[in-house]
Amino acid sequence: MQAKGGSNKNKKRNYFYLVTVLALAVFLSFAFAYFYVLLTSSYIAKGVFIEGINVGGMEREEALSIIKEKFKVPKFSIVAFYEGQSFEITTEDIGLQYNYEEVVNKAYEVGRNGNVLDRIREIYTVGREGRNYNLSLSYDEKPLKEFIDRIAEKIDKKPENASIRIVRGVKSITPEKLGFKVDKEKTLSNIVDELSKAIENKLFGRVEVEVSVKKVLPQVTKSMLDSINGRISTFSTVFNAEDVNRSDNLVVASRAINGTLLLPGEVFSLNKALGPRVIERGYKEAPVIIDNKLVPALGGGICQVATTLYNAVLRADITVVERYHHSFPVAYVPPGQDATISGDVLDLKFKNSTQYPIYIESYIEGNRLIINLYGHVENPSRWVDIQSEIVEKYEPSVKYIEDPNLHEGEVIEEVKPQTGYKVNVYRLTYENGKLVKKEFLYRDLYKPVDGVIKKGTKKVPKENNPLKATSPVVPPTDTSPPPDTSTEESPAN
């Protein structure tokens, strides 16, 4: 009887175990199926909201459609103002839009990342506690920048320098005009700030912004030009007005530099001021020195403008940056006081080494080229002169060459002999008519130019000899220093 009772108990226990295992298996099967469906579902997890709207249990496309329908992109204008002018751009122009897809994707991703337990835990937590996602507005700044560029085109204004004109010592000044320039970075920042405030506070009306504009000062002001109170130097040279082409070149070059204003620290280049010496600019052929000979070339004679200007600069006591003398002295200034220019190779440059602007007045009166420099005169009783001292003289030789192409008795001066000089140049400073300072400036060396004369050796029949009655004679060559035909005056007003 005991054995039978024990057997029944074992059967009951085994039955209980079996039922428990089956129940657990069924539970696990249902749980597996549930979580499998849950984890592989194409629906958004329960408890997920977008801007307070429950999108849990929806498919991604359905949620996206509902959110787009519920939250329309606001349309409004951004208006920028400046002194009665208004400029407008719309939110459509800047591509204002909600991040619909981004937020719906975030909602959809709930419970889809990490391992199985992490995913289940997130789905459970969100289903119990809920999770809300908010939309945000964004826009493209490029159209805004282009909008500001268009505003700048309407508002920007270049400043106008004050200008000065001096005619025979009479001065007239035109005041400067301020310029204006849109501060693009500041204006963009202002628009972005106001737009952000409107979006944050959902004030989708008209956004108004002031255009930020900076004043632009001109480089030259009337107060600067007012400091030009007198003539700081003057120099003039004479020329042969009957040499029409050369005279015309002097007129063209003189006009090119007249009215030039040189600010403190600026360097003046005569080559740059004159530009190319071409027919289109009015230049004509006249004699120039090439290879120690006078030959016709465009712009011949402009070295007289260079020389006259150079002497005015020396007497103004300002810095000479670049200067070259001729290969032999010229007739219109003493040796050591000339200046030559050539193409872009040789130039005359000087720097305004004063603290005030310098104005160049250049004009022709009769057969005289006059150049005045105006600036700030601090001591009207002070003036400067330049002195040349010939310390050595080098006589040229003359070479005779027999030329079989010339008839006997014919003589041609191929190269005119020129005396050479070693010259010391000094600056003399006077105050109240008395010499107060003499300073050595530089030394110039003019090498002698040997003459070349061709003599004919070709025989001429006596009956056809046109040279029988008279034979050419080589004209005498004057090799003495050129006379001083320049004039200078005290730099008083």
Q: What is the pLDDT of residues 173-215, one digit of tens each?
A: 999 999 999 999 999 999 999 998 988 888 888 899 999 999 9
- DSSP conformational letter for 281: G
Q: H or E stretch including 364?
A: strand 358-365
Among the residue ranges 27-31, 257-261, 454-458, the one predicted with the least confidence is 27-31
Give residue 4's pLDDT band: very low, low, confident or very high (50, 70, 90): low
Give residue 27's pLDDT band: very low, low, confident or very high (50, 70, 90): low
Q: In this predicted structure, what is the pLDDT of residue 470?
A: 39
* Segment of 35-49, 178-192, 471-485 carrying the highest mean pLDDT: 178-192
Q: Report d(CA 186, CA 80) in Å as an integer.
A: 13
Q: In this predicted structure, what is the pLDDT of residue 469?
A: 38
**pTM (two decimals):** 0.72
Q: What is the pLDDT of residues 335-381, one digit of tens each?
A: 999 999 998 899 999 999 999 999 999 999 999 999 999 999 999 99
Q: H or E stretch including 289?
A: strand 285-290
Q: Report d(CA 355, CA 131) in Å as an integer.
A: 74
* Segment of 29-38, 410-419, 428-437, 468-477 carrying the highest mean pLDDT: 428-437
Tokens 């997130």 -> residue: 122
Average pLDDT of the chain is: 88
Q: In this predicted structure, what is the pLDDT of residue 168?
A: 92
Q: In this predicted structure, what is the pLDDT of residue 293?
A: 75
470 to 44, 176, 446, 459: CA distances (angstroms): 126, 72, 37, 16
Length of the chain equals 493
Taking phi over 0 as left and psi of -120 to 50 as alpha, with beta for the rest, 130 belongs to: left
Q: Report d(CA 10, CA 16) in Å as an integer.
A: 10
Q: In this predicted structure, what is the pLDDT of residue 491?
A: 36
Q: What is the pLDDT of residues 103-123, one digit of tens each?
A: 999 999 998 888 888 888 888
